[in-house]
């Protein structure tokens, strides 16, 4: 089964303009994300989807594959769908261009169970351990049912613990999960996703995955323990610079 990874990368971020071209561990951020995406054995092809000529030039400079998309895409998922419509892949993985996979094995936790399941769309969750992140609206939370199906994603703390608002995790029944910014879709599911109108919940939370949930479509989640870091601001980049990726992430090849 062919697996395509598409990395949506936008130059014009309000909080961090030019973010994909910022430097992390001596390389452009987009190159670091691209390399991690290329390391899973099931991945046949990795493409950066961007509306920026500067990002296109950067990706070409490290011999990556890049496709220019229109500037009118509503979200990264819509940009991914535009690229996937041109490529005959059965399964498409969406890795946000600012989601740094500190351990490339994180993709195994997404791709491997998806290929063995009937799920049409999936993503990852990870237990949260710090109050700072739990109360940070830039860190998206997810609650799931007993089978791992997502019940809701939010920038707010969910579930809200009425009797202990500083509660982090004392048992598996009370774990608060963060959402990891990677998605996987069957081809037809991604096509349907892109054709849906923007939902009320999506607009309110600015979370594109809520578009399909509001339409009644299930998103399967799997738990990962492997680390990643989301780069939303220059401070996030500075924090990531202090983290040590696996040696496989810092080898000197050009991908």
CATH code of the domain made up of 3-248: 3.90.550.10
pLDDT at 170: 42
Contact 214, 208 (CB under 8 A): no
pLDDT digit string, tens, across residues 124-138: 999 998 888 888 998
Q: 0.85 cut: is pTM over it?
A: yes
3 state DSSP class of 80 = helix
Residue 187 burial (CB count, 10 A)? 19
Contact 51, 73 (CB under 8 A): yes
Domain boundaries, the chain: 3-248
- In this structure, what DSSP letter does residue 184 have? E
Q: How many CA atoms lie within 13 A of 205 on its CB side?
A: 22
pLDDT digit string, tens, across residues 167-176: 555 444 578 8
3 state DSSP class of 246 = coil
Where do we find the tokens 């071209």? 21
Is the pLDDT assigned to residue 251 strictly greater than 50? no
Helices (H), the chain: 29-37, 53-61, 76-84, 106-115, 131-134, 187-195, 200-205, 210-214, 234-241
**Counting Cβ atoms within 10 Å, is residue 132 exposed (0-12), middle (13-18) or buried (19+)?**
exposed
Region 162-182: mean pLDDT is: 72
**What are 223's two structure tokens?**
């738990």
């Amino acid at each position: 089964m062919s697996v395509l990874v598409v990395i949506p990368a936008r130059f014009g971020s309000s909080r961090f303009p030019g973010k994909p071209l910022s430097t992390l561990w001596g390389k452009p951020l987009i190159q670091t994300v691209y390399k991690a995406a290329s390391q899973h054995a099931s991945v046949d092809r990795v493409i950066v989807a961007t509306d920026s000529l500067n990002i296109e030039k950067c990706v070409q400079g490290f011999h990556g594959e890049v496709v220019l998309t229109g500037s009118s895409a509503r979200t990264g998922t819509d940009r991914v769908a535009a690229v996937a419509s041109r490529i005959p892949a059965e399964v498409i993985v969406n890795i946000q261009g600012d989601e740094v996979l500190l351990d490339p094995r994180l993709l195994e936790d997404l791709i491997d169970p998806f290929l063995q399941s009937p799920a049409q769309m999936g993503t990852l969750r990870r237990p949260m351990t710090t109050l700072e992140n739990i109360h940070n609206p830039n860190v998206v939370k997810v609650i799931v049912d007993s089978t791992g199906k997502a019940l809701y994603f939010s920038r707010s703390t969910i579930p809200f613990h009425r009797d202990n608002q500083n509660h982090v995790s004392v048992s598996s029944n009370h774990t608060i999960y963060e959402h990891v910014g990677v998605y996987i879709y069957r081809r037809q599911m991604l096509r349907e996703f892109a054709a849906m109108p923007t939902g009320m919940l999506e607009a309110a939370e600015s979370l594109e995955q809520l578009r399909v949930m509001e339409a009644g479509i299930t998103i399967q989640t799997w738990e990962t323990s492997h680390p990643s870091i989301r780069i939303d601001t220059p401070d996030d980049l500075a924090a990531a610079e202090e983290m040590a990726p696996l040696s496989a992430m810092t080898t000197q090849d050009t991908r």
